[in-house]
Structure formats: structure tokens, C-alpha cells
């Protein structure tokens, strides 16, 4: 019940209240992957990137085959400044669902952001072609 109320509050953009409910649900059921997934999104939208990454990692740990969980973790990692780790999650999300437009878009953003931040020079090769191809797929 707390999880469902939390999702309702999440969609009403009442993030502090939703966070409390997701955390309560997780305290009761430690393997509640859906609550970890929504908690990660809530934390990300509240600009709490470290907490978003932590919740996202737990959601992916519990359900590694869920493309949405990997995409959300990738978004949190990207917000935390880790382009390389985000790319891995977006690529894994695409492997799980080749029609995942958001993951293709986010992957293009991650490659582009990496070019700006210069985190990993190995991801520079053929950047323009990669990014355009990913954006077309998105």
C-alpha cells in the first residue's frame, strides 16, 4: 500500500513524500525492486544523485533483466558525472530491449557529454556518427 501511494505521489511531483513512502516500503520488504526503482527516480528528480545511484544499483541488482531499471541507473550515473558507467547501463538496457528509444537517446547524450567532460578518450572515436545513429534510432 505504501508503494502504491508513493507512486501516486511521485506522479503528482510530491517527491519528499514519495521518498518517505518508498523508503518505508523498502524497510518492510528489503527486496522490493519496484520501490527501489521509483526511489531512484525520485532521488534523481530531487537532485540527490548519490542516493539515486544507490537505489538504482539496488534495483538493478534485484532485477538485472529489467531495461527500465538499467536506463534509470544510467540516468543517475550520468547526473553523477560518470559517463562511462552510464554508457554501460544504457547499452545493457538496449541489449534487453532493442526498441528502447529513451535508452538510445540517453546513450547519445552520454557520448556527447563525455566529449565535453573528457572522462574517457576511448569513447571519442567516431563520436558524430555514433551520436547521430543513436538519435535516429531514438
Q: For 79-115, what is each residue's pLDDT tens digit?
A: 999 999 999 999 999 999 999 999 999 999 998 988 7
What separation in angstroms does the CA of 15 have from each of 9, 11, 24, 38, 48?
7, 9, 14, 10, 11
What local confidence, expressed as pLDDT, does residue 94 receive?
98
| Residues 38 and 72 sit within 8 Å (Cβ to Cβ) | no
Q: For 36-82, what is each residue's pLDDT tens digit?
A: 999 999 999 999 999 999 999 999 999 999 999 999 999 999 999 99
| Residues 10 and 26 sit within 8 Å (Cβ to Cβ) | no
The secondary structure of 22-87 as a DSSP string is HHHHHHH-TT-HHHHHHHHHHHHHTT-HHHHHHHHHHHHHH-TT-HHHHHHHHHHHHHTT-HHHHH
Q: How far apart are CA 58 and CA 20, in angstroms?
A: 17
pTM of the complete model: 0.89
Amino acid at each position: 500500500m505504501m508503494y502504491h501511494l508513493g507512486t501516486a505521489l511521485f506522479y503528482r511531483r510530491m517527491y519528499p513524500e514519495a521518498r518517505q513512502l518508498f523508503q518505508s516500503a523498502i524497510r518492510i520488504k528489503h527486496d522490493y525492486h519496484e520501490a527501489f526503482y521509483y526511489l531512484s527516480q525520485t532521488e534523481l528528480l530531487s537532485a540527490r544523485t548519490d542516493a539515486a545511484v544507490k537505489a538504482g544499483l539496488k534495483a538493478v541488482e534485484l532485477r538485472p533483466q529489467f531495461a527500465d531499471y538499467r536506463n534509470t541507473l544510467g540516468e543517475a550515473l550520468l547526473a553523477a558525472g560518470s559517463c562511462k558507467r552510464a554508457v554501460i547501463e544504457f547499452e545493457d538496457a538496449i541489449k534487453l530491449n532493442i526498441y528502447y528509444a529513451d535508452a538510445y537517446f540517453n546513450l547519445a547524450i552520454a557520448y556527447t557529454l563525455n566529449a565535453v567532460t573528457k572522462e574517457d578518450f576511448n569513447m571519442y572515436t567516431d563520436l558524430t556518427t555514433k551520436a547521430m545513429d543513436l538519435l535516429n534510432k531514438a
